[in-house]
Amino acid sequence: MARVAAIDCGTNSIRLLVADVTTSDGGGRWLRDVHREMRVVRLGQGVDATGELHPDAIARTRAALVDYTAVLRRKGTERVRMVATSATRDARNRDAFFDMVREVLGAEAEVITGDEEARLSFTGAVSDLDPDEGPFLVSDVGGGSTELVLGTWDGVTGSVTAARSVDIGCVRLTERCLRDDPPTERQVEDAVRVVGDVLGEAFDAVPTGAARTWIGVAGTVTTLVALAKELPEYDPEAIHLARLTVDQIRETTARLLAMDHDRRAALGPMHPGRVDVVNGGALIVRALADHLAGHGVTELVASEHDILDGIAFSVS
């Protein structure tokens, strides 16, 4: 058994998982959570417009990493892997971010490719699913990018058939199109058009029609599930492996689009850091639901296990 740590630094949030990884004689592996935490740091603040990481965003990320590093020491972590996604891939001043991580964490932050990001997300997402429900399509809607990965799962290992990462996420879409709060009808129409154009690249690369089960990971999906289920507060156990129909996704998205900031913030399951960008994420999920419904996949399975779990497996 090894105690490992995984850190996922995305465009909107930075998340930590400390876990014990056990390997059986037959080669199977499973995780036992020791500590799981998320902070919204909005690292991708303004990147789409300026091409650079904002100093305030780097400072927020540094503060979270200082706390995470203290957790790693207290928990006796043996190995750590930190990955950074689209915000740092796109930034001209990304060296300032890497220097900060090296100083605080004592390890390098890896800028992984979109395909590697999708593979890790797939591994984490399918680990609790029945292999007979495959092939699986896993979607990961982040702050700056959306990953689609199609593959199978035999109960021990995942096999990826096709994957694609495209540059649209809840932060990018909000900053690009949804400038009013609540957004105007014209802004929503513009956002839907942008999402359709960008996701089209992923649909061309990933044969979504081969999927039998759609799995959604990350905060937009889990928040939509919590709202559709009318949970009084965010409850990971109630959300993990919960299912939403396409109609529920459409209804919940429409309800969010009609709310202003204060009404969204008052929703029990809503994380404060997601209030400003949840509409953008919901429109991306709705577009995925509409596309997959055309292929006969009419429900979404939410998974609380995602790229963090995949990263933890990769360092064990």
Q: What is the pLDDT of residue 27?
A: 58
97 and 277 Cβ atoms separated by less than 8 Å: no
Cα-based angle 132, 138, 143 (whole degrees, multiple of 5): 160
Q: Which domains does the chain have, with CATH numbers?
A: 2-114 (3.30.420.40), 129-307 (3.30.420.150)
Tell me the H-state helices in the chain. 47-50, 55-75, 86-90, 94-105, 114-125, 170-177, 185-205, 219-228, 236-239, 246-257, 261-265, 278-293, 307-315
Average pLDDT of the chain, as a whole number: 91
Q: What are phi and psi of 103, to 5 degrees?
A: -65, -45
pLDDT in tens, 81-128: 999 876 687 789 989 999 999 999 999 999 887 677 777 888 889 988
Q: What is the largest CA-CA distance in the chain?
A: 58
pLDDT in tens, 19-62: 998 876 655 667 888 999 989 898 988 887 888 999 999 999 99
Q: What is the pLDDT of residue 123?
A: 84
